[in-house]
Amino acid sequence: MAETTEEGGVPHREKAMLRREKIVSAARRLFIANGFHATGVAQIAKESGIAVGQIYRDFSSKEAIVAEIVQVDCMDFLAPESLSAGIQSGDPEFVWNWLTDFVRPEPDESDPLFAEIVAETARNERIRAIFEGTREEVCSTMLVALSALIPGEAFAERRLALAGVITATALGLMQHRFLSPAEDTDRAAALMLRMLRREVADMQAEAARG
């Protein structure tokens, strides 16, 4: 028999999950509006309607809330299950579309928050650890995509280097969007994607030659 709360018969675990989601949603809104440093746990409590003490029972610190936001956003952005399904379908264009979305994503209201989190990695060890863990997930998923286009152990090191270049370029282009007209960023992203296609084509040709 499922454990339930006294009010409404809602399972404790489900209630806790909904409460955490409410905290994260409120924190995201405040971080986007005011920035990470200008937002305190007391503000998150007021925005979410959840007491400060309860927030600290659900999350050990403000950085832990950031970790949850980064993890959720990363999984939504990478869409690993969708990529896996595309690879299993045998359609290389699906992988290319995934890579295109990675390099040139649609602007999102969370972009400034993500940029602030990246900048914070230079000052805050906990944020840096969060970001490093996320980067490992990004690299792992990127290697899955590249391995679908360029299989074989012989290309392992080159795939790893290419994954690093793609990730660094995507981060740079996100920052570029804040400083330059959108068309400039689009041109830079288009050039990066053409270069990526040439690099992959060269490796595929090398593999074909044996």
Tell me which of 187 and 134 has the higher pLDDT: 187
Answer whether residue 8 shows pLDDT above 60: no
| Pair 80, 104 in one domain | yes
Question: What percent of the chain clears pLDDT 70, i.e. is strictly above it?
Answer: 95
Q: Which two tokens stand for residue 104?
A: 């040139």
Average the pLDDT over 109-134 and give the result. 81
Answer whether residue 1 shows pLDDT above 50: no
Confidence bin at 2 (pLDDT 50/70/90): very low
Counting the structural domains of the chain, the total is: 2
| Pair 93, 158 in one domain | yes
Residue 101 domain-assigned (yes or no):
yes
Q: State how far the Cα of 137 lies from the Cα of 140, in Å rounded to an integer.
A: 5
Contact predicate 130/70, CB 8 Å: yes
| Pair 125, 159 in one domain | yes
Residue 175 domain-assigned (yes or no):
yes
| Pair 174, 140 in one domain | yes
Q: State how far the Cα of 73 lies from the Cα of 109, in Å rounded to an integer.
A: 12
| Pair 117, 48 in one domain | no
Most confidently modeled range among 73-87, 108-122, 129-143: 129-143
Tell me which of 68 and 196 has the higher pLDDT: 196
Confidence bin at 9 (pLDDT 50/70/90): low
Average the pLDDT over 98-127 and give the result. 82
| Pair 47, 113 in one domain | no
| Pair 110, 83 in one domain | yes
Answer whether residue 122 shows pLDDT above 90: no
Answer whether residue 83 shows pLDDT above 80: yes
Residue-number span of the structural domain to which 167 is assigned: 66-209
Confidence bin at 7 (pLDDT 50/70/90): low
| Pair 114, 38 in one domain | no
- 176: which residues sit within 8 A by CB, 6+ positions away? 184, 185, 188
Average the pLDDT over 11-35 and give the result. 90
Residue 7 domain-assigned (yes or no):
no
| Pair 26, 52 in one domain | yes
